């Protein structure tokens, strides 16, 4: 289930189930989006990206969905594994040449 922790919302899923992590972005003009995974003590790691001219993009076990109408981005992880436990951030880039703005993050906890 999903709960709000002290700072980061947490999503707990059973190993083997699918995970869906959601992100609301701020600017309707944003044209490029990235999902990052951050493990404890490490820097954010690029997972998958999508441009605003697409609504879906698939990688290995991950799918990103973009709904521009409601400014919503989601990351789907198939067959979640213990190694997927981390904090996941979405980032939006409004225009090339501008910085990336990060969402607040979601902690994914995979239960055995």
Instruction: Print the binding letters for residues 92-111 with other proteins: x by CB under 8 A, - otherwise.
Output: -x--xxxxxxxxxx------
* Residue 8 or 62 having the CB closest to other proteins: 8
Q: How far is the CB of 17 from other proteins (least distance, A)?
A: 25
Distance of CA 91 to the CA centre of its chain: 8
Closest CA to 79 of 95, 64, 62: 62
3-state secondary structure (DSSP) of residue 83: helix
CA distance 109 to 17: 12
Give the contact letters, 9-48, x = binds to other proteins (CB under 8 A), - = no: -----------------------x-x-x-----xxxxx--
Min separation Cβ 16 and other proteins, Å: 27
Kindly tell me the sign of the dihedral angle through the C-alpha atoms of 76, 60, 110, 44.
Answer: negative
Is residue 77 a contact residue for other proteins (CB under 8 A)? no
- Give the Cβ contact number of residue 40 at 10 Å: 7
Given the rule CB under 8 A, which residues bind other proteins? 5-8, 32, 34, 36, 42-46, 49, 89, 91, 93, 96-105
């Amino acid at each position: 289930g999903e709960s709000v922790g002290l700072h980061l919302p947490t999503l707990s899923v059973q190993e083997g189930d699918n995970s869906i992590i959601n992100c609301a972005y701020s600017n309707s003009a944003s044209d490029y989006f990235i999902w990052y995974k951050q493990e404890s003590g490490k820097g954010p790691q690029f997972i998958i990206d999508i441009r605003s001219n697409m609504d879906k993009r698939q990688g290995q076990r991950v799918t990103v969905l973009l709904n521009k109408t409601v400014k919503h981005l989601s990351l789907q992880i198939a067959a979640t594994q213990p190694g997927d436990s981390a904090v996941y951030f979405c980032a939006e880039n409004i225009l090339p040449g501008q910085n990336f703005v990060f969402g607040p993050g979601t902690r994914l906890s995979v239960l055995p």
